[in-house]
Amino acid sequence: MDDELRAVTERLRKEAVDASASARFERLRSTDDPDELADVLTAPGQQLWARELAAFRLGCAGERRAFESLVLLLNHRDPERCASAALALGRLGDPRTARAAAALATNELRVAYALHPVRLLTALRAPESAPALITALKRRLASPHDPYWRIALACVEGLGALADKRAVPVLDAARVHPRLAAAATAALARIGEP
């Protein structure tokens, strides 16, 4: 956890560029007061880096007040923000997390940002995980020239990790796609299918 926190804080430190932002950053990085961090999530006019730092620290500490902010960050256009939100949500332990990640992973309007929700669903191993990954993968396979093949690959790998037999038909269909064939074959083997 220390390495992940260090990576997130170093990235966000670079966003706190002026003197007052730098001082604010150091205060948020070092405080042990969850109320002070939670206030950043609801106060108007907060910088994105401040909200992310507060949400990440609260989420990793199991403080559920971070949930909504982390879900918003999980669906951000910046992959690094999505990754930090997924990590914090995975540690948060909020029962709403899997449902939120499933909604993001299957939202066709936001499919470009679905990679981290897909990976989070795999890590959570929740009842919502396999059905959401199956749905997302079916949609990716519907078009032969779908540009989101990395999302499809993450779904295939996730379904293999979950080893849910309901995924066999969609994984079998994925084997005909050159970029997915090896991963789909491996996923089917993990499930116990030839």
Average pLDDT value over all residues in the chain: 95
The tally of domains found in the chain comes to 1
Question: Alpha helices, DSSP H only, in the chain?
Answer: 2-15, 19-30, 34-42, 48-60, 67-74, 79-92, 97-105, 115-124, 129-141, 149-162, 168-174, 181-191
| pLDDT over threshold 80, residue 123 | yes
Structure tokens given for 111: 């499919």
| pLDDT over threshold 80, residue 142 | yes
| pLDDT over threshold 60, residue 172 | yes
- Length reported for the chain: 194
- The whole-number pLDDT of residue 133 equals 98
Residue at 174 is within a domain: no
- The whole-number pLDDT of residue 45 equals 92
Residue at 64 is within a domain: yes
The per-residue pLDDT for range 80-102, each reduced to its tens digit, is: 999 999 999 999 999 999 999 99
**Which residue range(s) make up the domain with 60?**
1-94
Global pTM reads 0.93
The per-residue pLDDT for range 60-75, each reduced to its tens digit, is: 999 999 999 999 999 9
More confident residue, 129 or 5: 129
Output the CA torsion sign for 9, 11, 17, 21. negative
Residue at 84 is within a domain: yes
Structure tokens given for 130: 């396999």
Residue at 149 is within a domain: no
| pLDDT over threshold 80, residue 194 | no
- The whole-number pLDDT of residue 1 equals 52
